[in-house]
């Protein structure tokens, strides 16, 4: 994702899209006037049931209307069925769930994909940002576009640009990274309930497509249920729950709380997707059984195994493919979007994917890892994938499939093997450091407004 084109200043206000107005073309100018459901003050809620309170501590279920919940549930399942009742979902991931990767995952069993998270301030005001990031394609449906932000007007302006080219708009309430705290979005909005209600109702009342939300757990499951009901009553048609709190991230990642997700699913009238602790097709099936959710979303698991939802069996050929075969297929899809075209796969993005997909090779073979960090073109990436295939066929026993990038959170800390968390993080840090040296991000070049996570990929384990 290229954030260098975003030069939006703080407090940006747009004016001109009337009530129920159509979406603007990608290169046009979006403006917003009076909005249905939006408060005069962004942080103030007009709903008489919620106007009394601004934070989660002051809201309980008596403030949430049963009729609104019932109607949202009916519309939520109507929408869910209209897109084929998807159960295998690719998560929104910063700089990772781009078009070529989504197309690849659809070939391996995914039946719903999300775009990467887009910064609503950048998307609303910068045509260059939109053109370099949003990439509609006829094969890429159903598709949900995710935005982050805290300003209802900017979020709506952004959504208006894409509402004709996707199936729903998702609000990111799950990003736990420090950049989200600075930008006041993601999981750091989870206690600003009046503002969340304002954002969701503004989008729901002014868009022609549904609004969905992706959240993390609060400290209390009961509070999480109440918050989700508030979002549903405000107009959210699907809720995705990542089964960890915002503090449980990176090296502090804990087990995913499927029981909490089950309780949330049982309490809500709308479709619920479970996110977290998905690394195999068996995990998908077990999660569906244990949580009762309508769908399962994978983030980091599918980054490492794009064929996760079909156990690497191609829906095109019916054949089970190796990791290096799938990487070569991904590179072929990336080549279909030239480097400077809309929907392109950048070399840093491809490098990040290859590091994860080929981790069992590059973690042990320092020569292959060095080639990965130095590769500058799609052709060099392809040569590396072919070299990995050759090495695997020559010495299959050296590729331990149990020691994977995904398992860096769960490997025992007592071993001195390369597969310990310390070694996994060290190997990843080598690639990330090289990437930053060659491809400095927005923060390093001083442009600000970065929405990159604090670790490569910024996925949800």
Cα-based angle 114, 7, 457 (whole degrees, multiple of 5): 35
By CB atoms closer than 10 A (0-12, 13-18, 19+), residue 422 is middle
Closest CA to 91 of 155, 166, 144: 144
Catalytic-residue membership of 175: yes
Q: 158 and 214 share a domain?
A: yes
Whether residue 264 contacts residue 281, with contact meaning beta carbons closer than 8 Å, is answered with no
Do residues 357 and 294 share a domain?
no
Whether 355 maps to a domain, the answer reads yes
Long-range pairs of 386-392 with CB within 8 A, sequence gap ≥ 24: 386/324, 386/328, 388/324, 388/327, 388/358, 388/361, 388/362, 389/322, 389/324, 389/325, 389/328, 391/361, 391/365, 392/322, 392/324, 392/361
Domain count, the chain: 2
Task: Tell me the whole-structure pTM to 2 decimals.
Answer: 0.81
Asked if the structure places residue 110 within a domain, the reply is yes
- The answer to the question of residue 363 being in a domain is yes
Clarify whether residues 182 and 231 are in a common domain: yes
Same domain, yes or no: 428 and 345: yes
Taking only the tens place, the pLDDT of each residue in 391-444 is 989 988 777 666 677 765 554 433 334 344 444 445 555 555 444 444 444 333
Least confident among 119-133, 306-320, 334-348: 334-348
Residue with tokens 């069993």, as numbered in its chain: 109
Last residue of a domain, one of 310, 333, 355: 310
- Look at residues 259, 283, 310 and tell me which one is the last residue of a structural domain: 310
Residues 417 and 423 sit within 8 Å (Cβ to Cβ):
yes
Same domain (yes/no): 298, 363: no
Catalytic pick among 113, 122, 175, 293: 175
Non-local CB neighbours of 398 within 8 Å, separated by 6+ positions: 364, 391
In this model, does residue 317 exceed pLDDT 90? Answer: yes
For 89, other C-beta atoms within 10 Å of its C-beta total: 28
- Round to whole Å and give the CA distance between 421 and 251: 8
Please check whether residue 109 is in contact with residue 126, taking contact to mean a CB–CB distance below 8 angstroms: no
- CATH number where 176 lies: 3.20.20.70
In the structure encoding, which two tokens stand for residue 72, read together?
């949202």
Does residue 234 sit in the same domain as residue 277? yes
> Are 80 and 207 contained in the same domain?
yes
Q: How far apart are CA 118 and CA 6, in angstroms?
A: 11
**Cβ pair 296, 90 in contact under 8 A:** no
Residue 236 — φ and ψ, nearest 5°?
A: -70, 130
Characterize 230-259 residue by residue with b for buried, 16 or more Cβ atoms within 10 angstroms of its Cβ, and e for exposed.
Answer: bbbbbbbbbbbbbbbbbebbeeebeebbbe
For 137-179, the pLDDT digits (tens) are 999 999 999 999 999 999 999 999 999 999 999 999 998 888 8
Q: Give the whole-number percent of the chain exceeding pLDDT 70.
A: 70
Average pLDDT, integer, range 256-276:
97
Residue 18 falls within a domain, yes or no?
A: no
Write down the pLDDT at residue 413: 38
Report how far residue 204's alpha carbon sits from residue 190's, in angstroms, rounded to the nearest whole number: 19
Full domain range(s) for residue 365:
323-438
Same domain flag for 235 and 354: no
Residue 292 and residue 345 in one domain: no
Tell me, yes or no, whether 216 and 99 share the same domain.
yes
Task: Using alpha carbons, list the distances in angstroms from residue 305 to 92, 224, 310, 330, 456.
Answer: 15, 30, 10, 12, 16
Does position 295 have pLDDT exceeding 50, yes or no? Answer: yes
């Amino acid at each position: 994702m290229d954030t260098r084109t975003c030069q939006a200043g703080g407090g940006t206000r747009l004016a001109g899209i009337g009530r129920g107005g159509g979406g603007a073309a990608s290169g046009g100018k979006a403006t917003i006037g009076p909005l249905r459901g939006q408060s005069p003050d962004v942080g103030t809620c007009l709903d008489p049931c919620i106007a009394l309170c601004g934070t989660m501590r002051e809201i309980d279920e008596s403030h949430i209307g049963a009729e609104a919940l019932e109607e949202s549930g009916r519309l939520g399942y109507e929408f869910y069925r209209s897109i084929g009742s998807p159960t295998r979902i690719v998560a929104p991931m910063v700089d990772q769930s781009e078009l070529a990767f989504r197309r690849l995952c659809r070939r391996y069993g995914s039946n719903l994909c999300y775009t990467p998270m887009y910064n609503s301030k950048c998307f609303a005001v910068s045509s260059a940002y939109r053109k370099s990031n949003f990439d509609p394609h006829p094969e890429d449906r159903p598709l949900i576009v995710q935005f982050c932000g805290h300003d209802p007007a900017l979020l709506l302006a952004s959504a208006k640009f894409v509402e004709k080219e996707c199936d729903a708009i998702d609000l990111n309430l799950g990003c736990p990274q420090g950049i989200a705290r600075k930008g006041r979005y993601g999981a750091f909005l989870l206690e600003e309930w009046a503002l969340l209600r304002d954002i969701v109702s503004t989008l729901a009342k002014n868009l022609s497509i549904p609004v969905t939300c992706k959240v993390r757990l609060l400290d209390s499951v009961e509070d999480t249920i109440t918050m989700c009901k508030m979002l549903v009553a405000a107009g959210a048609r699907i809720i995705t729950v990542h089964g960890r709190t915002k503090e449980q991230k990176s090296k502090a990642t804990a087990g995913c709380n499927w029981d909490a997700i089950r309780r949330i699913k049982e309490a809500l009238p709308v479709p619920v997707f479970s996110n977290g602790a998905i690394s195999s097709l068996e995990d998908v099936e077990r999660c569906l059984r244990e949580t009762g959710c309508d769908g399962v979303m994978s983030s980091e698991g599918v980054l490492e195994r794009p064929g996760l939802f079909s156990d690497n069996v191609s829906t095109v050929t019916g054949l089970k493919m190796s990791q290096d075969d799938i990487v070569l297929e991904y590179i072929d899809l990336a080549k279909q979007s030239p480097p400077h075209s809309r929907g392109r796969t950048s070399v840093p993005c491809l490098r990040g994917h290859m590091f994860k997909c080929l981790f069992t090779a590059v973690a042990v073979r320092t020569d292959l890892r060095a080639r990965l960090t130095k590769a500058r073109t799609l052709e060099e990436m392809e040569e590396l994938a072919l070299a990995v295939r050759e090495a695997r066929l020559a010495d299959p026993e050296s590729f331990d499939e149990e020691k994977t990038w995904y398992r860096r959170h769960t490997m025992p800390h007592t071993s001195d093997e390369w597969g310990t968390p310390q070694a996994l993080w060290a190997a990843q840090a080598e690639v990330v450091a090289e990437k930053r040296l060659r491809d400095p991000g927005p923060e390093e070049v001083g442009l600000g407004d970065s929405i990159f996570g604090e670790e490569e990929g910024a996925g949800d384990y």
